[in-house]
Structure 1
Amino acid sequence: MSERSSVFDMIGPVMIGPSSSHTAGVVRIGRVARKILKGTPKKAVITFYNSFAQTYEGHGSNRAILGGLLDYHTDDDRIKDSLQQAEKAGLEYKFRSVGNANTLHPNTVRLELTAPDDTQAVVIGESRGGGVIRIREVNGFDCNFTASSHTLIVYANDQKGSIAFISDVLSHDDCNIATMTVSRKGKNDLACLVFEMDSGIKPITLEYIKELNWVKNVLYIPDIDQ
């Protein structure tokens, strides 16, 4: 299946430079990760892979990822000083690099995040050029979404009819599903359902899904560029 294109593929985002893949895309990965954690982390272990591992300091990817975790947009001047801004915000961070991970995209970053209440999240993202990203994995589940659409992540018991049920709920909220990804730990084990939608969902619909007795956790990520 061919990947979807966006306006970023043609003109790139408005951004703090020098590189759309090494800065703008990285900022967007950080912003997605903080939404998954539901706030600014108190601790972050950030691992850059492959080409990122060689260039993350020189190309500003270290500043970009911290800027994203602080919820800065790609054109925010504060990205230039985000190492200092992170310290002011009480964010303890550590950078690591792995130069030869053959199974990963050349521009891959892994974030191990801890919230002030000790909630944790692990996010693996790819910066694919022109500011385009793909979130490859969230908390051990394959997710494969771009965050350029409204994204709903549902962790639920792997039971018959669950996908159809949530799809039906979303259709009644006038949400058009653009893509869907399903992964699970094993048969009849915990499953992760990822829906990318053309429009957002109503708060009451989100609360309804959260209250289903076979749903364990729900994450909602609006269009990351809004």
Structure 2
Amino acid sequence: MFHVIRGGKVVQVRMLMALLAAAVLILSGCTGQSAKEEMYDHLEKAVTLEDAFREQQQPMVELEKEEQELYEQIIDLNMDQFEEIKEKSQQAAAIVEERREKLELEKESIDSAKEEFDKIEPLVEDLDEEKADAKDKAKELIDTMNKRYDAYQDLYSSYDEALTLDAELYEMMQKEDLTEEQLQGQIEEINQSYNKVIEMNKTFNEHTEKYNTLKKELYEALELDVTYEESGEKETNDEEKEGEDGTDASSEE
């Protein structure tokens, strides 16, 4: 949920981002690794490589809230309290830099995961000929991941630009000759920037949700026996349920 203070900055800009769903493969006793199992390994390693991205989400939201509280305290002060305005502006500027550091950690994680994901491309053509539907699903998954990655790059650039505007705002607030017109102009520019971030965030989440759905469909097409972990819950597919009933639940080679 996003809120706007009348005449003030956008509050709670960062919505929590949709995350890649993890899956656990139920391995058979066979030796060697098939193309589909290699694909599984790369896909799930990509999930693991996004752990750092995942870990930044809630702290980023909390830092935004903390900064907003300082901003509200600053605008409630008058020029007779300029030293306090200056001190709180410096504190807020420091939080902006903390947010930027977390943004960089987030990007490094996304970049590493994408690099790992890209390793599945040469494996697609190695899938068994009878798994044409799986090949098509894998290609669709690759296309969706590419769109997700591009959406994140746009989101990163927009958020980084917004942070720069925030930093400029708190530098301006440390000047005694700052006019209300200058302040309002900067805030309007910041709000426009964050509205763009909000839209980019939504697009990224949409691609992530589509990716998670396609990955499940790919695993089903590959007849991989997996359990899914999503939002702290596990879903068991039909093959595993059959295995629990005493029938063969091993993955095919």
Report the TM-score when normalising by structure 1: 0.25
Task: Report the structure, 1 or 2, having the larger helix content.
Answer: 2
Report the TM-score when normalising by structure 2: 0.23
Q: Which has the higher contact order (CA 8 A, sep 6+)?
A: 2
Flag the structure with larger Rg. Answer: 2
Task: Report the structure, 1 or 2, having the larger strand content.
Answer: 1
